[in-house]
Structures are given as structure tokens and as C-alpha cells.
Structure 1
Amino acid sequence: MVILPPNYVQTIRNIHQEKGKVWLQNIPSLINFCEEKWSLKVLAPFDLSYNFVAPAKKMDGAQVVLKLSLPNKEFRSEVEALSFFAGEGMVQVIDTDVEKGILMLERLSPGHTLATLENEVEATEIAAGIMKSLWVPDTSGSSLPQIEEREQSLMNFFKAHPIGKAPITQNLLKKAIHTFRSLLDDKKERYILHGDLHHYNILKSHSSWVAIDPKGLVGEREYDTIQFLLNNLPDDKLEQTISKRIAVLVDNLKLDERRILAWGFAHSVLSVCWSLEDGEEYSEPFYKSIFVFEKLHNEKFGCLT
């Protein structure tokens, strides 16, 4: 019998409401379905956040990972993104059942995350290499969400909270929306992006590092660096760490530093808004990073507004 952590149950209910409640109740039957269909035994889950993810052992001894998600647009985007990223740099898909929200993936060993590396430059160079291997030019055959949906998400938050919602002020919301729009108006070349690439979504696999959990998004490459810049930050020296990471990414990937800083400001605001919408505690480093990105942009390239 699977026992789900209370905080995980509450997160799913907060995000998905009644659909989430029903899906949580169905997890035991989904596990039974998977065990029978693929002749495997599902073991105790990993630490859970937004999906049910657990190791499993097949009857022939092979180890895999079972990922169960509420079947929705985000899950379908993940499956589609995995098809574009198939190959070096991305975890391999063994089988899927899209209608039931099931993904069976290879088990990565030893599987520790990039966050275990203490050397900032080395970790950022590894992330840059993965980004370079994953990004492919957008194709008309893609049905992945466009980056404009992120802008719309921010605008929806503003409509719901026109005077802001602590700690996000009305001025920050307006500035972030304006920044989104001005960046999108530039019509830069678009790529199929991971959409959530950070230290905890990059795992060690034998002698290489591999990305997991793509959200799938179409936008410019600079935008896909932001989650990496925001995660695994020290309690102090926030500005120094972000600056160092940006320098490595710009050098390795030939990206536009000004646009990284502008996207960093806009997306940091959006990330905090997402947490507030989901009823979660917002990340303090995410919030502080808003002002780091703005400061660096203003010092190097002039004011955002």
C-alpha cells in the first residue's frame, strides 16, 4: 500500500482542486495497472513534489523509473518535449500511456543531482553543455506551449491582483509585464526549450550528466537559462553567484547577456506569482533575485523601464 506524504497531497489538491483529489485516490489502482502491464514491482517513491515518481524493478531485474502525472496539457507537453529531446543529454523514455498519465523512464545511476557539485563554474559548464545538446529550432509540427503563455500568466495574476499581492507590488507587476512584452516584440529566433532546466533536473548517469522533467516550451534560448540561474543559490553572495553563472553561459553558448538579465527579472516575478497562486510559500532566493537581475541590467544596459 502506497502512503503519500501529507504535504504532497496538499500540493496536488491546491493546484488541481477536485481533479487532483480524484487522481490521488486513483494512484493505487494506477500502480497496480503498471505492475501488471509491464511485469514490474513499484518500490517506495522518491521525494514527491508535483508528480508521483518511484523506482521500479522488472521481472528480469532491470531497474526503471515510473512517473505518474495527472493527465493534462502540461503532461502531454512533457511527453512531446521528450520526443524532440530523444538522445544525448535527456533521460530515455521506455514506454508511455498518455491517456493515463504514465511515463516509464530509464533509471539513472548513481542519480545524484548537479546541486551536489560545489564548483559553480564546473556545474554551469555542465548545464550549458546540456542546453546546447537539447535546444532544437522550433518546427511547425510542434504543439508545445509558446512563451506568450508565460506572459499571459503574469497578466492574469495582475488582473486578479491589480494592486499586487505581497511581496509582489503593483509596480513590480507592471514592470515585469512591460519587460515581457518588449522582449517578445523583438521576434527572436525560437527554439524548443526544456522549460524547467535547473540543478535538480540534471542527474548523474554513469560518466555523463542527463536532464529530466522537461516542461516543453517554445521561445528564445536566453529564457531557458533562467531556472538554472534561480536555483541552488547560496544564502549570501547572490549577485556574485548569478553574475558568475551568466558569464559562463554567455561565453559557452554565445547568448545575449542583456536579454538574460531582462528575462531573469521578468521570470523571477512570475515565479513568485506562481507560488502565491498555488497557495505555497514563495522562494526567498527567487524574490531576492528579482532585484539582482534588475540591478545588473540597470548597471550594464540601462533601466528596464
Structure 2
Amino acid sequence: MLKVLTDRGAKVGDMIGAEILSLWDGNGAVKLIDRTGNAMLLEWLPGPSLREKAPCGQDQMAAKVISELSLKLRLSKADGFIELKDHFGGALPKAEISGFPEPYRDAFGRAQTMWQALLRTTEEMCLMHGDLNHDNILWSDRGWVVIDPKGVVADPCYEFSVVFRGPVGEEARAAKPERILELAELLARGANLDRTRILQFGFVHVAMSLAYHFTRGSISETDMAIFQAFDSLQLPVPG
């Protein structure tokens, strides 16, 4: 497959994905065959995607695949990749809470506090996919592999933050606190990580995404519902 970036894609750094694909060299990821300028030649993967293979609430199967891939893809910190503190342009810590919808201001204040505490208490920084959702995982002749990495450097617990928002088509279930708790438990066991910290990163990630869109005058009703579900868990502030 030939992937040619638009000017916007090149501007936001999508070619960083080629760098990390080169590092993975096909181990748990689509193979990068060649690259030049704003174009990448990639291995063709017909799929299906994980969303297609694990629909209708099959979180146990999906969590097993995602956690195993996260372990395979995780690399020691590398230069040239964006750190979590700069992800989404640092939208959450820069956000003026007074400009947010009034019913959600306290929750965003809690998310800002949580964000700073998570960054302060991070003990290990790893290079990871950064957008490990169900649609970015495809079946291949060597098993499940990922596509479209962002190449984020962060605490390993952050890798699962986008998982709580999917899969596409199950938004109502994604906003249920009991589903969030169960999914976090599955991911924590699969990747041998702390369940509470995975939840904390899930909370701040959806807050960060909302803050990014608020500053541009838009709102995601799905993200807002998930954000409220996370806030209802009354997660402790780390450290």
C-alpha cells in the first residue's frame, strides 16, 4: 500500500509513524517497505480489524490482543518522538476552565490536577504506539499487527487510554462506569500494570481530548459521556 500524506498530515508529524515502524521492523506492526518525502510504501494487510473480530462487547478477547501487542511494541525511550506532556499541544494544562461548560468545570479541574500528578509520578518512560484502538489493529499472516502509530513517549499505562473510547459503534456501552472498570482490570492483568493508574490515564486522556476540541469550538458528546463516567469513579490522585 502506498500512503501519501497531505500537507496537513506532513505538518502534524504523521511521518513520525514511519520512524517507529522502522524501529519495530514488522514485529507486531505493519512492515515499512520504503519511504521517501511524504510517502510510505507499506505491507498490504487485508484485515479484518480487531473491531470486526471482537464486536458486541467481546472485551476479554480485545483486551488480550491489545495488552499482548502493547508488550511487544513497547520500546525504551527514544529521541525524536513526542512526550506525553506535549501531546495534543498540552491542551489540558493550558485550558482555561472558566471557558468550559459550567456543569463540567469541577471535573476538568480534577483532571488537570490528576494530569500533573501522573506526569510527576511517572517512573518509566517508553516509546509506544499512542493510538492503540481497535481499528488500528489488523490480522495478518503473522498474527495481529498495528498500523498508524503516533510514536508517543509516556508511562506504559498511558498506552490503553484510547481503548476505553472504543470500539466504534459501542459508544453507549463505553460510557458505563462498570465497563470502564472491567476493561481496566483485563488490560492491567494482560500487561502486568497497575489498574488504577490505567484508569487515571484514561480519565486525563479523554479530558485532554475534550480540552483540545473545546479550544476549537467543538464538542464530542461521546467523549463527554465517557469523561463523566470516569469522573464518577472518584479516582484518587497519585502520589
Q: TM-score range by the shorter chain?
A: 0.7 to 0.9
Q: 1:108 aligns with which of 45, 51, 55?
A: 45
Bigger radius of gyration, 1 or 2?
1
What does residue 227 of structure 2 align with? 290
TM-score, with length taken from structure 2 = 0.85
Stretch deviating more after TM superposition (235-244 or 285-294)? 235-244
What does residue 97 of structure 1 align with? 36
Return closer, same or farther for 1:80/1:297 CA change in 2, 3 Å cut-off.
farther
Cα deviation, 1:215-255, whole Å, max 9, x if unaligned, reads 11101110110111222144247223222221111111111
Return closer, same or farther for 1:292/1:281 CA change in 2, 3 Å cut-off.
closer
Q: 1:174 aligns with which of 94, 97, 109?
A: 109
Count of aligned positions: 230
Q: Are residues 1:219 and 2:154 paired?
A: yes
Return closer, same or farther for 1:87/1:168 CA change in 2, 3 Å cut-off.
farther
What does residue 205 of structure 1 align with? 140
* Aligned residue runs from structure 1 range 234-245, under 5 A: 234-236=171-173, 238-245=176-183
Structure 1: distance between partners of 2:137 and 2:110: 32
What does residue 85 of structure 2 align with? 148
Structure 1: distance between partners of 2:22 and 2:234: 36
* Aligned residue runs from structure 1 range 207-286, under 5 A: 208-232=143-167, 233-236=170-173, 238-278=176-216, 280-282=218-220, 284-286=221-223
What does residue 27 of structure 1 align with? none
Instruction: Supply the AA of the counterpart residue of 1:249.
Output: L
TM-score, with length taken from structure 1 = 0.68
Return closer, same or farther for 1:195/1:236 CA change in 2, 3 Å cut-off.
closer
Structure 2: distance between partners of 1:182 and 1:166: 24
Instruction: Supply the AA of the counterpart residue of 2:68.
Output: G
Cα deviation, 1:119-154, whole Å, max 9, x if unaligned, reads 221111111111111001213xx1101111138221
Decide whether the 8 Å contact of 1:261 with 1:297 is kept in 2: no
Instruction: Supply the AA of the counterpart residue of 2:155.
Output: E
Deviation, structure 1 residue 97: 1.7
Structure 1: distance between partners of 2:93 and 2:123: 21
Over the aligned positions, Cα root-mean-square deviation in angstroms equals 2.4
Deviation, structure 1 residue 200: 1.0
Deviation, structure 1 residue 73: 4.8
Structure 2: distance between partners of 1:280 and 1:89: 35
Instruction: Supply the AA of the counterpart residue of 1:112.
Output: P
Return closer, same or farther for 1:94/1:127 CA change in 2, 3 Å cut-off.
same
Deviation, structure 1 residue 102: 1.3
Structure 1: distance between partners of 2:139 and 2:216: 31
Return closer, same or farther for 1:155/1:241 CA change in 2, 3 Å cut-off.
same
Decide whether the 8 Å contact of 1:66 with 1:105 is kept in 2: yes
Structure 2: distance between partners of 1:204 and 1:279: 37
Return closer, same or farther for 1:115/1:277 CA change in 2, 3 Å cut-off.
farther
Q: Are residues 1:120 and 2:59 paired?
A: yes
Instruction: Supply the AA of the counterpart residue of 1:253.
Output: A
Gaps of 5+ in 1: 1-63
Q: Which has the higher contact order (CA 8 A, sep 6+)?
A: 2
Decide whether the 8 Å contact of 2:91 with 2:211 is kept in 1: no
Instruction: Supply the AA of the counterpart residue of 1:143.
Output: G
Q: 1:134 aligns with which of 48, 73, 82?
A: 73
Decide whether the 8 Å contact of 2:117 with 2:237 is kept in 1: no
Decide whether the 8 Å contact of 1:77 with 1:145 is kept in 2: no
User: SS of the counterpart of 2:121?
Assistant: coil
